Structure 1
Amino acid sequence: MCKAMWFYPVKKSCDWTTKNEIENDDLMELSGQSRGSPVDDELPLPKHHFISLVKLCVDFGFFVFAGDEYQQISGLAMGSPLSAVLACLFMETLERDHYRDIIGRHSTWLRYVDDVLVIVPRRSCLHHTLTRLNSVHEKIQFTVEEEEDQKLPFLDTLIHRGDEDLRFSVYRKPTNKDDYIHYYSANSNNTKSGVVIGFFLRALRICSPEFLESEVTYVIDSFMKHKYPKGLLLNLRKKAENILSRSNPVISSNFLVLPPCNLSQAISKYFGNTMNIASTSGEKIHDLIREKKQQKSNTDSAVYRIPCSGCDMAYYGETGRGFNTRICEHRADVRHHRTSNSMVVHVDEAGHLPNWEEAETIHEGLSKHKRKVMEAAYIATEKNMNTASGRFKLSKVAAAIIRTSARSRSSGDSSTPMLYKYAVYSPKCMYF
């Protein structure tokens, strides 16, 4: 779509929106003509190999619908990480080779994904320009919308044209219903506060001074309809202003995901700005009312311990193919002196052989994910000969919480704190 506005005495601007459905071959041909292409020495692999791999990923657009298998031969697959990048490269190539010449050197072309803001001389014929743009590629078609009452919406911004300057306010579509998170919803307080702060930040970043207060009032009124206390909203506005005034915000690299509960909020306050705290949304109505399938226990799934015959160290491992099968593989590794096995390294360093007779399983019937978490928990807390930390690298505190949770569940203790239970199900939250 092209949205056009008169801009000062000599120019007008337009917002062009594209509707594209491009062929893969055309895309690869044009996208391969990249600007400032690096030489092969600067890439991890030769450029022609990289292009071939990208083309393979683009061409392999197969999917199943109603039991039949299809191949997508036009356009890019939705959800693919490559699609957005290649689409932008494709548009940049068309802009460089065609669109810049069509709009002329006295015009300005500003594009965000498929929305284009164009400032053109006042006497330009927009519809003639539109026809020329649409003739470049049959799959890339533009529509145009011109300025009305000296206003032009672009993305979430409404541009107001004055006599000597431009002013800005927040733009909402006519179909907007202000359907936001209700204050009494089951979402965490952090989630609800974050949504409100986001709206205040948008107002502070976009609005010109004469539109700011009206936008802030609109945000407050909208959330008060969803039962948000006015005092809370005013405090959140101050927080948004403080966030915007930070010159160099401190961003912590540590990240912790916790379930929505009072303990999670206490942990968030304790860590403050030293760690990013996020909460999950919890169970949805669908999760509460649906009939859950009974999962069969996998008897071959096990976390095991193999002690050393000469010291107090032990090897901790996990397997999904059965304890006895894994012990036979370990015996073969020691017999053939395969140094990729941690026990072989211990034999070389300490001269101690594994005590095969006392090898035992610690946990059985766990899912693959939980099994690997438990292995990492034992490696982090017990004296061991493992040369790696396992699939997950856990702190000793997190590992102890996970082991406590496992013992409580096995003994039938239902009073285990939620954080302990959550640790095994979502171990990534326990990285430090």
Structure 2
Amino acid sequence: MVEYIFDSSYFSFNGVIYVQIDGAAMGNPASGTLAALVMDEVITISLRTLTFDVHFIKLYVDDTIFSIPKGKSDELLLKFNNVHHKLQFTIERESEATIPFLDILLIRNEDGTISTNWYTKPTSSGRMLNYRSQHPTSQKIATITNLMFRAIHLSDERFHRENELKITELLTKNNYPTTLVKRVLNQYKRKVLTDSAGSRGDERTRYYRFPYIQGLSENMSRALQQTNPSTRLAFYPLKCVSSLFSKIKDKTPDDLQSELIYKIPCKDCSRCYIGMTKQYLKNRVYQHRYDCRTINKDKNEKTALAAHHFNEDHNFDFENVTILEKEKNYKRRCIGEMVHISLNETVNLRTDVQNLSTIYHNILERYKRMIRS
């Protein structure tokens, strides 16, 4: 199975498919598991050949920390790099009785014990969720408490005050009001640090994803909690950081996309046909082309597209099919199709939108007037 995963790895670039000749593809679900297996094997082989004892070893993916006798780090690195010529490791040695590992700084005390402190790399930009960004206030408060949680639980008590000042400085640079930062930090220390058991919350509470639109989303959340106190809305932003970057992966051709809502314009009038499909778009378009053949003219059950073609003697522009929306969830796709039918001048049947709730009517009418103006 492992050989098959490696031998079948491929990627595409500029529309050309290439076989990956070495290693597992980045993003392959099996890559992480295979990497963990390889690291276990490398460590096992290396430890067998060492001339000294390892006092402790901690591993997280490819980050590993060892406690070994002084002056033996070169031998350790050599043993690891000799396991396989394509696997080469780097090493970082203890400096001034300290060494960073992941997000903590290990400190070797004079009595032989080890203390820890919250650690951030010197190259860290210090950027985080900006206070002026379009996110709910609850998420900004969570940013403060999460930083406090890391600073407290990853560090020895003697570093808590120092880390608190560090958090305040980081948040201030990201436009968080000082009064808010101090209030949240004090609340955290009172409610969390004094309560070792913590608060587990109401296990019956149910959360639902909801897009965040400043002003509207908060009102929706309050209205929902008034009718159903055990329900909460979990907000997500409409704009993500990934939207700011170019897409380097090859885009899937439109005709090979699926689970979508599409529009086919009529060549002879201003109307169009809107439909949805789970299959490849090219397959669904082929079915529409077939339905418009003369042999299907007297067919009893026709699609609205085929009926318009035969009744009005109009032809559809199958070469300019537009994808309006992609949606994997079937129920959401149905609602989306009805919304798009309501917003466009279509040949679709009235029954195609009969299941759309009337609560959308006023919103859709206002939106249609807005886009027309």
TM-score by length of 2: 0.63
Question: Structure 1: which amino acid aligns with 2:68?
Answer: V
TM-aligned CA distance change 1:233 to 1:282, over 3 Å = same
1:154 equivalent to 2:101? Answer yes
Instruction: Report deviation, 1:133.
Output: 2.0
The equivalences for 1:99-178 within 5 A come to 99=47, 101-102=49-50, 104-122=52-70, 125-164=72-111, 165-178=113-126
Instruction: Report deviation, 1:163.
Output: 1.9
TM-aligned CA distance change 1:86 to 1:282, over 3 Å = same
* Mapped contact 1:110–1:118 kept (Cα < 8 A): yes
Identity value in percent: 22
Instruction: Report deviation, 1:215.
Output: 0.5
Whole-angstrom distance in 1 between the partners of 2:360 and 2:330: 13
1:256 aligned partner: 209
Instruction: Report deviation, 1:162.
Output: 1.0
1:385 aligned partner: none
The equivalences for 1:28-427 within 5 A come to 51=1, 54-66=2-14, 68-99=16-47, 101-102=49-50, 104-122=52-70, 125-164=72-111, 165-238=113-186, 240-241=188-189, 242=191, 245-247=196-198, 249-250=200-201, 252=205, 254-268=207-221, 270=225, 274-275=231-232, 277-282=234-239, 297-298=263-264, 299=272, 301-302=274-275, 367=325, 369=327, 372-373=330-331, 403-404=357-358, 406-408=360-362, 410-413=364-367
2:280 aligned partner: none
TM-aligned CA distance change 1:99 to 1:138, over 3 Å = farther
Q: Classify the secondary structure of the residue corresponding to 1:58.
A: helix
Whole-angstrom distance in 2 between the partners of 1:283 and 1:110: 35
Instruction: Report deviation, 1:57.
Output: 3.4
* Mapped contact 1:260–1:282 kept (Cα < 8 A): no
Greater RCO (CA < 8 Å, at least 6 residues apart)? 1
Whole-angstrom distance in 1 between the partners of 2:329 and 2:78: 62
Q: Structure 2: which 5+ runs fail to align?
A: 245-260, 265-271, 277-283, 306-321, 337-353
Q: Classify the secondary structure of the residue corresponding to 1:74.
A: coil
Instruction: Report deviation, 1:296.
Output: 7.5
Question: Structure 2: which amino acid aligns with 1:126?
Answer: S
Q: Classify the secondary structure of the residue corresponding to 1:141.
A: coil
Q: Classify the secondary structure of the residue corresponding to 2:90.
A: strand
TM-aligned CA distance change 1:401 to 1:220, over 3 Å = farther
TM-score by length of 1: 0.56
1:306 aligned partner: none
Whole-angstrom distance in 2 between the partners of 1:213 and 1:59: 54
* Mapped contact 2:262–2:274 kept (Cα < 8 A): no
Instruction: Report deviation, 1:225.
Output: 2.9
Instruction: Report deviation, 1:230.
Output: 1.8
What is the CA deviation profile of residues 86-138 of structure 1, one whole-angstrom value per residue up to 9, with x for unaligned ones?
A: 1001111232344355375553221111111101234x522122212211221
Q: Structure 1: which 5+ runs fail to align?
A: 1-50, 288-294, 304-318, 333-355, 379-399, 417-432
Q: Classify the secondary structure of the residue corresponding to 1:219.
A: helix
TM-aligned CA distance change 1:136 to 1:357, over 3 Å = closer
Instruction: Report deviation, 1:206.
Output: 0.6
